[in-house]
Amino acid sequence: QERYDYQQIEQKWQKHWADTDMFRLQQEEGRPKYYCLEMFPYPSGNLHMGHVRVYSIGDVVARFKTMQGYNVLHPMGWDAFGLPAENAAIKHKVPPADWTWSNIANMRRQLQSMGISYDWEREVATCHPDYYKWTQWLFLQLYKAGLAYKKKANVNWCPDCATVLANEQVVDGLCERCDATVEKKALEQWFFRITDYAQRLLDDLNKLPGWPDKVKTMQENWIGRSEGVEADFALENPVGGVDKLTVYTTRQDTIFGVTYMVLAPEHPAVEALVSGNPREAELRAFIKKVLSQSEMDRTANDTEKEGVFTGHYCINPLTGDKVAVYLANYVLVDYGTGAVMGVPAHDQRDFEFATKYNIPMKVVIQPEGLPDLDVEEMDHAYEEEGRLVHSGEFDGLINTQALDVIADKLEREGKGVRKVKYRLRDWLISRQRYWGAPIPVIYCEKCGEVAVPDEQLPVMLPTDVEFTPSGESPLTTRPDFYECACPQCGGKGRRETDTMDTFVCSSWYFLRYCTPKDKDHAFLQEDVDYWMNVDQYIGGVEHAILHLMYARFFTKVLYDLKLVKVEEPFENLLTQGMVLMGGSKMSKSKGNTVSPEEIIAKYGADTARLFILFAAPPERDLEWSDRGVEGAHRFLHRVWRLVHAYSEQIAGVPGTLVGSDLSSLNGDDRELVRVAHYTVKKLTEDIGQRFNFNTAVSAIMEMVNHLYQYKDKVPAEQQNIPLVKDALARLVLVLAPFAPHVCEELWQVIGGGESVYKQPWPSYDEQALVRDEVEVVVQINGKVREKLQVANGLDGEALKAKALETEKVQALIAGKSVVKVITVPNKLVNIVVK
């Protein structure tokens, strides 16, 4: 018997698949299409187990759909621009391009050693001029549509990376990459007007039933829609042209409880309030101090709320009360109006602020069914619901109802307007770094900002650039890059030296895959019309906000520009869990990684894939286990031996059951058929409907156990070899998406002919699933006394008769009278005796 030599088998089939273009895209007429996409990796150098997991999941889906007769698009590429290449280059003195391309070569080899069914002809790399030409072209489509603009902005600046970060890349005030504290810096930056799409991005989440709720919730929170009112508080003594302050509040129900007003120190009215103020020096010192604090420091719950009184007062529009105006660190300039009405009794931040500065408090909401609040005794704000008090005509209203009524009144009296606000900010896309797609804009003294004409694309990124971080783009050191002619007047122009955020590159790669080689278009209409949407997108939940939001935004923009016909790019989304080691995420920094390459060398790719698919449902975290890997490996050996045990007998035997008469089969044979069909059904549903790959694999394991039982129990001369052959064929077919190489080999051993992936996914016969016999429990007065094997579907009367005539029951009821017999067909008989 042949040994399971996985190394040799895996190499053999990988070569065969490549030589025969097995996974070259087929677009056959009459077949439905299926676009299976896994998030493309950043080419950091080596595959990690997280990659192995996501790409194994995708491959099961792609191979399954291929066997089901779909035209499958299953592409792979590289998210290849970005900072790590520059950092590595600085460290090791290799050009970012060389570093990136050699990493790509290595990771491509590693992916190929996993035997994933990619069509490598469609590979894309975002750092290739053939790709970024179109990233630039798309930038210009947005630019021409008024969706890309430049403005001076207070931006998040990471002093260590020496670059600007998008809001989304700042995590708790720290740089997502290097954990340095992020600072603010005012710089000219490019933005995409994603806020124009805020409401659609929010609404259309409803069109995505195939997305996990948690991801939709995260996007919803990130968009952060809130409904409130902008209310005007007139300044008691107008100064420097400022006669009122406008606050944004979502809690207009508390307006009678306002006891002070706060402005962000950056608020545009502050200058007028401060200049010439008797306390100007104190105020300016305070402003300077706040500006040096990071946004996180200013807003964190445990940060000391600090402020200063400006000496000015404004007037509450509903009560007419005089309200002191403060500046404070906890109000941000770029949310709402940058001005907040302080309601210390009902907002915790305000409570802390008022306590510190001895500002009065006023309760305007009383909880129901609890003792009344008393300002003197409160030690925190009351933020729950209740009835309005001290609120004039609104007294007695439930505060949630008062929201509308008070908004109405403010609007009626011209003192306020309802406003919808979003937390979402415009997407800052410029980076003062080298390794990215140059922004295709030229500045001309005469013509101003000029788009690079299409025929001049791509704006090539020069090689060998000095890119030590300086805060300016390294491209500013290359006159041969930035000196250029103005495309409009031919005069002296200067090229934009900033490059694009790499999230721009990854916002459209799924479209490029549809037409990866076209030199003249980003993508061809007919190709994207055919392939889009992505039917199944698979990737890490860490992309729940950024990448997925940006890709949705791009798709909507392209839809509006009539470049694509879909409004959402990803029909179904699966976010796979992490791979853990000892309970914490496998990561280089923790030093708890297991190298995929070593595992594959030691056990083979099929084992690695099978383990990872078996160890947990895809959305859950998965605990790495060497024993689990060995278990998966032993299982493949077991399958190997089983097929080989029959290889001689089944040679030449026609192995198909279709049409055979189930009722003519004896018990063991019938059960073998049932298990084989049941396994196919289970696999079809587990893969196709639920992505329960782990339970799918356990069903296969049970089937293998059953086949061994049959082999060992039924005397050799009585074994039904055509049935065995049929069962083995089904086994290999359903295991093939999980462990592709060994199944391709075993398919040959069975004599299946052409590649296992050219075979249709097996069907199952509902009739075969029906058990011939079922076990029925016999109870006497509710106690289980006996178990019977009876024909499936035996009716109540027959069941009762059968139970009553068994010896054991006869003995137990002897001398008693049967009061009642309850029967549940296929389940139980309960005999009640006295």
Residues contributing to the site for ligand ANZ (CB under 6 A): 226, 248-251, 254, 264, 331-332, 335-336, 338, 340-341, 343, 346-347, 421
Nearer to ligand ANZ, 340 or 373 (CB): 340
Nearer to Zn ion, 484 or 798 (CB): 484
Nearer to ligand ANZ, 119 or 352 (CB): 352
Q: Which of 223, 273, 340, 486 binds Zn ion (CB under 5 A)?
A: 486
- Which range of residues in 33-41, 223-231, 487-495, 663-671 is near Zn ion by CB under 5 A? 487-495
CA-CA distance, 309 to 328, in Å (whole number)?
9
Nearer to ligand ANZ, 217 or 584 (CB): 217
Q: How far is the CB of 331 from ligand ANZ (least distance, A)?
A: 4
Give the one entry of ligand ANZ, Zn ion, none that residue 325 binds, where binding means its C-beta sits below a cut-off of 5 to 8 angstroms depending on kind.
none
Nearer to Zn ion, 367 or 448 (CB): 448
Give the one entry of Zn ion, ligand ANZ, none that residue 370 binds, where binding means its C-beta sits below a cut-off of 5 to 8 angstroms depending on kind.
none
* Region for 550 from its dihedrals, namely left if φ exceeds 0, alpha if ψ lies in -120 to 50, beta otherwise: alpha
Binding residues for ATP: 588
Please, what's the b/e burial string for 430-452 (b: 16 or more CB within 10 A of its CB; e: otherwise)? bbbbbbbbbbbbbbbeeeeebbb
Q: How far is the CB of 375 from ligand ANZ (least distance, A)?
A: 14
Give the one entry of Zn ion, ligand ANZ, none that residue 426 binds, where binding means its C-beta sits below a cut-off of 5 to 8 angstroms depending on kind.
none
Neighbours of 783 (CB within 10 A): 9
Nearer to ligand ANZ, 322 or 446 (CB): 322
Give the one entry of ligand ANZ, Zn ion, none that residue 446 binds, where binding means its C-beta sits below a cut-off of 5 to 8 angstroms depending on kind.
Zn ion
Torsion angle, alpha carbons of 358, 364, 369, 371, to 10? 30
- Which range of residues in 56-64, 183-191, 462-470, 489-497 is near Zn ion by CB under 5 A? 489-497
CA-CA distance, 194 to 559, in Å (whole number)?
14
Show the binding pattern over residues 612-651: x = contacts Zn ion (CB under 5 A), - = does not: ----------------------------------------
Q: How far is the CB of 32 from ligand ANZ (least distance, A)?
A: 45
Q: How far is the CB of 442 from Zn ion (least distance, A)?
A: 8
**596-603 and 49-67 helices cross at what angle (nearest 10)?**
60
Nearer to ligand ANZ, 338 or 596 (CB): 338
Q: How far is the CB of 171 from Zn ion (least distance, A)?
A: 42
Give the one entry of ligand ANZ, Zn ion, none that residue 486 binds, where binding means its C-beta sits below a cut-off of 5 to 8 angstroms depending on kind.
Zn ion
CB 35 within 8 A of CB 531: yes
Nearer to ligand ANZ, 348 or 779 (CB): 348
Binding residues: 588
Nearer to ligand ANZ, 380 or 519 (CB): 380
Site for Zn ion in 490-549 (CB under 5 A): 491
Q: How far is the CB of 496 from Zn ion (least distance, A)?
A: 14
CB 397 within 8 A of CB 405: yes
CB 533 within 8 A of CB 152: no
Q: How far is the CB of 263 from Zn ion (least distance, A)?
A: 42
CA-CA distance, 741 to 752, in Å (whole number)?
15
Please, what's the b/e burial string for 149-174 (b: 16 or more CB within 10 A of its CB; e: otherwise)? ebeebebbbbeebebbbbbbbbeebb
Give the one entry of ligand ANZ, Zn ion, none that residue 254 binds, where binding means its C-beta sits below a cut-off of 5 to 8 angstroms depending on kind.
ligand ANZ
Site for Zn ion in 437-456 (CB under 5 A): 444, 446-447
* Region for 403 from its dihedrals, namely left if φ exceeds 0, alpha if ψ lies in -120 to 50, beta otherwise: alpha
Nearer to Zn ion, 15 or 492 (CB): 492
Q: Residue 393: CB partners within 8 Å, gap ≥ 6? A: none
The verdict on 303 binding Zn ion (CB under 5 A) reads no
Give the one entry of ligand ANZ, Zn ion, none that residue 332 binds, where binding means its C-beta sits below a cut-off of 5 to 8 angstroms depending on kind.
ligand ANZ
Tokens of 602: 């030691």
Give the one entry of ligand ANZ, Zn ion, none that residue 223 binds, where binding means its C-beta sits below a cut-off of 5 to 8 angstroms depending on kind.
none
Neighbours of 568 (CB within 10 A): 19
Give the one entry of ligand ANZ, Zn ion, none that residue 251 binds, where binding means its C-beta sits below a cut-off of 5 to 8 angstroms depending on kind.
ligand ANZ
Sign, Cα dihedral of 216, 221, 225, 226: positive
Give the one entry of ligand ANZ, Zn ion, none that residue 710 binds, where binding means its C-beta sits below a cut-off of 5 to 8 angstroms depending on kind.
none
Residue found under tokens 């006869």: 810
CA-CA distance, 474 to 90, in Å (whole number)?
13
Q: 324 forms bridges with which residues in the sheet?
A: 260, 313
Q: 633 forms bridges with which residues in the sheet?
A: none
Q: How far is the CB of 505 from Zn ion (least distance, A)?
A: 29
- Which range of residues in 331-339, 360-368, 488-496, 756-764 is near Zn ion by CB under 5 A? 488-496
Tokens of 687: 């893969």
In 3D space, the residue among 6, 195, 2, 1 whose CA is nearest the CA of residue 635 turns out to be: 6
Q: How far is the CB of 190 from ligand ANZ (least distance, A)?
A: 25
Q: How far is the CB of 249 from ligand ANZ (least distance, A)?
A: 3
Q: How far is the CB of 165 from ligand ANZ (least distance, A)?
A: 21
CB 388 within 8 A of CB 397: yes
Show the binding pattern over residues 143-162: x = contacts Zn ion (CB under 5 A), - = does not: --------------------
With 0-12 CB in 10 A as exposed, 13-18 as middle and 19+ as buried, what is 708? middle
Nearer to Zn ion, 406 or 444 (CB): 444
Give the one entry of Zn ion, ligand ANZ, none that residue 416 binds, where binding means its C-beta sits below a cut-off of 5 to 8 angstroms depending on kind.
none
Sign, Cα dihedral of 283, 285, 286, 288: positive
Instruction: With residue 819 as reference, give the H or E element that holds it.
Output: strand 818-824
Q: How far is the CB of 299 from ligand ANZ (least distance, A)?
A: 7
In 3D space, the residue among 654, 649, 656, 651 whose CA is nearest the CA of residue 673 turns out to be: 656
Q: Residue 30: CB partners within 8 Å, gap ≥ 6? A: none
Q: Which of 488, 587, 695, 781 binds Zn ion (CB under 5 A)?
A: 488
CB 689 within 8 A of CB 61: no
Tokens of 361: 């408090």
Give the one entry of ligand ANZ, Zn ion, none that residue 335 binds, where binding means its C-beta sits below a cut-off of 5 to 8 angstroms depending on kind.
ligand ANZ
Give the angle 648-649-655 at the CA atoms, nearest 5°: 115
Residue type for position 696? A
Instruction: With residue 585 as reference, give the H or E element that holds it.
Output: strand 584-585
Measure Cα distances from 734 to 659, 686, 755 in Å: 21, 11, 14
- Number of residues near Zn ion (by CB under 5 A): 7
Q: How far is the CB of 227 from ligand ANZ (least distance, A)?
A: 8
Nearer to ligand ANZ, 201 or 729 (CB): 201
Nearer to ligand ANZ, 391 or 430 (CB): 391
Q: How far is the CB of 377 from ligand ANZ (least distance, A)?
A: 19
Give the one entry of Zn ion, ligand ANZ, none that residue 248 binds, where binding means its C-beta sits below a cut-off of 5 to 8 angstroms depending on kind.
ligand ANZ
Please, what's the b/e burial string for 271-286 (b: 16 or more CB within 10 A of its CB; e: otherwise)? ebbbeebeeeeebeeb
Nearer to ligand ANZ, 355 or 779 (CB): 355
Give the one entry of Zn ion, ligand ANZ, none that residue 341 binds, where binding means its C-beta sits below a cut-off of 5 to 8 angstroms depending on kind.
ligand ANZ
Name the site residues for Zn ion (rule: CB under 5 A).
444, 446-447, 486, 488-489, 491
